[in-house]
Amino acid sequence: MARLADFKVLTFDVYGTLIDWEGGMLTALEPLLGAENASSYTPKQTFDILHELESEQQAKTPEMQYSDLLTTIHPGIAEKLGLPKPSAEESKAFGDSVGKWPAFPDTVDALRRLAKHYKLVILSNVDRASFAGTNSGPLQGHPFDLIVTAQDVGSYKPDPRNFKYMLEKVKEAFDVDRDQVLQTAQSQFHDHHPAKAAGMKSSWIVRPGKIMGNREQQLYDWKFDTLGEMADALEAELSK
């Protein structure tokens, strides 16, 4: 059986895996959810609405930058929640919030430890400007060896084009084939299912209690609650 140490490249989802997507999103939605009747909706109901609108908009406008996409669907979230329509300024503030969403407590230390063994590659559904804000802020400027965003590809995960494009760029940059690339992510929907279809191995970072992207069929080759636990497992392998 393959070991974690056998891989040369980790390809990361960011929002949900390195960054607390759900916590950041709820904070960004607070101005809207603070309105009358919003308290009657659970986070899961809110995220289900968000996922529905986000997926529809991504399919409709795959070239749209993620910050603009969030701005676009913000009024629809309010409508489905039965809340007053937000102003254009409020919707733009929601879209511009991505770079402020917090990292999970274990993320930065785990990245530093994993970078001693792997090339670290970003495969994210956001745009370059949003990720740049995240990288310079919550991720404390941690360097990555390659960054691939939905803006670069012109489509959003789980579209297979995103994985094909990433694997081609990894081959060009590092001369590494897919059997030495490990997709590392929380979302079954956005990452593990399409990674499997692309012939890749994957490491599921569960982030217990998080609900976005979960599916009844769970696909993965390794499973850890946190990225820190994955770094622990790698170091244990290397110490033998």
Q: Which residues are catalytic?
A: 13
* Phi and psi, residue 43, nearest 5°: -55, -40
Whether the Cβ atoms of residue 174 and residue 8 lie closer than 8 Å to each other: yes
Measured CA to CA, the distance from residue 26 to residue 93 in angstroms comes to 13
Smallest Cα–Cα separation from 126: which of 174, 175, 68, 165?
A: 68
Residue 199 three-state SS: coil
Measured CA to CA, the distance from residue 157 to residue 155 in angstroms comes to 7
Measured CA to CA, the distance from residue 151 to residue 155 in angstroms comes to 7
At residue 218, what is the residue type? Q
